[in-house]
Structure 1
Amino acid sequence: MLQKRIIVASGNTHKIEEIKSILKGLPVEVLSKNEVGLKELEVVEDRETLEENAIKKAKEISEKTEGIVLADDTGLFVDKLNGEPGIYSARYAGEDATYLENNKKLLKELEDTKLEQRTAEFRTVIAIVLEDKSIKTLTGICKGRIALEPKGDKGFGYDPLFIVDGYDKTFAQLGEDIKNKISHRARALEELRKELEDILKDE
């Protein structure tokens, strides 16, 4: 079976390694956009949904290179806040906001809300543009609640605030090993592996 080239619409080495480890054993070569000469290409995420942003990123890279292209977008959706921060999760407290500033803003928005009413879910959408330019999207969801205060020192982003259903600990308390098995990203990547296994089987 011929090896397939998979280009990830990211220059984040951590993300690339994670995808490589999930796809281990498949006849694929995983490359970052930087490795195929597209380091300077920054796609503006200006769409209304995670799906649309992920598709836009994958399509723009796909136009400039050969192979299967993957892109993902992730958001935290809090029920009490009508789904906010959602697609603006990374820049909730402003365009160049730090993780800490975003977390502070989220806690302020939920100031007088009891723990049981702080239900939320993390969502990751992966868009795949195949060699024939057809598009598929896959979604991974992890449900939980927003803590009353930050807990734990592992992880990043909203990890210190997100209490995972069934664990009663935040992602930042659980640590990377457990998070990488149960997170929204892990679930989306598992779906990706199944999808690619099917695509490669049909070759």
Structure 2
Amino acid sequence: MTRVLLATRNAKKLTELRRILAAANVSGVEIVGLADVPEFPDAPETGATFEENALAKARDAARETGLPSIADDSGLAVDALNGMPGVLSARWAGRHGDDQANLDLVLGQLTDVPDDRRGAAFVCTVAYVVPDGGETVLRAEWRGRLVREPRGGNGFGYDPIFVPDGHDRTSAELAPEEKDALSHRARALRMLLPHLDRGAITVD
């Protein structure tokens, strides 16, 4: 059994990755989070791109723990806001991780934007770093539009206002298995699976 670190303290991200690995019949790997390893200082997210932030987090985690490490940086790119909040998505309202404040701010900024111009995309970049074994960085997007009122109790972040293309429910109204089939993070993680063999993982 090989331990792979997902460099996050977000329990929902850990659960999501474990579901995706199980659905893909990945064996020989135990996914652990930052709460499962000795604590080390979090590097600030100072990169100008999702790729820079994800790679920095994965490098730090691999260096500090000696474990093959996965890190992601993701966010919402709103067409009418010129791609923002982008890499600032988690702290758009000023305090990191205040989902409700971030969501409220985006909705407020879009108050006068008509429905046909409320396009957006969730973006996820995933980095996989193996100590002394190389690096992989992958990116996926999930296009959709933003509604005017939050709907649904699943998911987190901007999920309650994001309706994927081809659907009429928000991401927060989708069942977990539905979201796993569609989401930006799930797509990026599935793209990563073939690269995990560097961590001595077998994929059936």
Normalising by structure 2, we get a TM-score of 0.87
Tell me whether 1:162 sits opposite 2:162 in the alignment.
yes
Deviations, residues 181-201 of structure 1 (Å, cap 9, x unaligned): 211111111112132258758
Deviations, residues 61-120 of structure 1 (Å, cap 9, x unaligned): 111222311111111001111100101111111124632221221112112111111111
Distance 2:162 2:12 in 1: 21
Q: Which one-letter code corresponds to 1:11 in the other structure?
A: R
* C-alpha contact 2:68 2:199 (8 A) present in aligned 1: no
Aligned to 2:100: 100
Residue 189 of structure 1 aligns to a residue in which SS?
helix
Tell me whether 1:113 sits opposite 2:113 in the alignment.
yes
Count residues in correspondence: 199
Aligned to 1:53: 53
**Structure 1 residue 178, shift from structure 2 partner:** 1.4
Q: Could you say if the C-alpha distance between residues 103 and 17 of structure 1 is closer, same or farther in structure 2, counting changes exceeding 3 Å? A: closer
Distance 1:55 1:4 in 2: 21
Distance 1:75 1:114 in 2: 22
Say what the alpha-carbon RMSD is for the aligned residues.
Answer: 2.2
**Structure 1 residue 49, shift from structure 2 partner:** 0.8
**Structure 1 residue 17, shift from structure 2 partner:** 2.9
Deviations, residues 18-44 of structure 1 (Å, cap 9, x unaligned): 22332233222222233231x243221
* C-alpha contact 1:8 1:71 (8 A) present in aligned 2: yes
Aligned to 2:43: 43
Structure 2 residues without counterparts, runs of 5 or longer: none
* C-alpha contact 1:26 1:197 (8 A) present in aligned 2: no
Q: Which one-letter code corresponds to 1:35 in the other structure?
A: D
Q: Which one-letter code corresponds to 1:28 in the other structure?
A: V
Structure 1 residues without counterparts, runs of 5 or longer: none
Distance 1:152 1:201 in 2: 36
* C-alpha contact 1:9 1:61 (8 A) present in aligned 2: yes
Distance 1:22 1:175 in 2: 14
User: What is the percentage of aligned positions where both structures have the same residue?
Assistant: 38
Aligned to 1:32: 33
More helix by share: 2
Residue 46 of structure 2 aligns to a residue in which SS?
coil
Aligned to 1:195: 195
Aligned to 1:75: 75
Correspondence for 2:11 among 4, 10, 13? 13
Deviations, residues 143-178 of structure 1 (Å, cap 9, x unaligned): 001112222233221111101101122112223331
Q: Could you say if the C-alpha distance between residues 201 and 65 of structure 1 is closer, same or farther in structure 2, counting changes exceeding 3 Å? A: closer
Aligned to 2:151: 151
Distance 2:85 2:158 in 1: 11
Residue 87 of structure 1 aligns to a residue in which SS?
helix
* C-alpha contact 2:70 2:127 (8 A) present in aligned 1: yes
* C-alpha contact 1:22 1:193 (8 A) present in aligned 2: no
Residue 70 of structure 1 aligns to a residue in which SS?
strand
Aligned counterparts, 1:80-95, within 5 A: 80-95=80-95
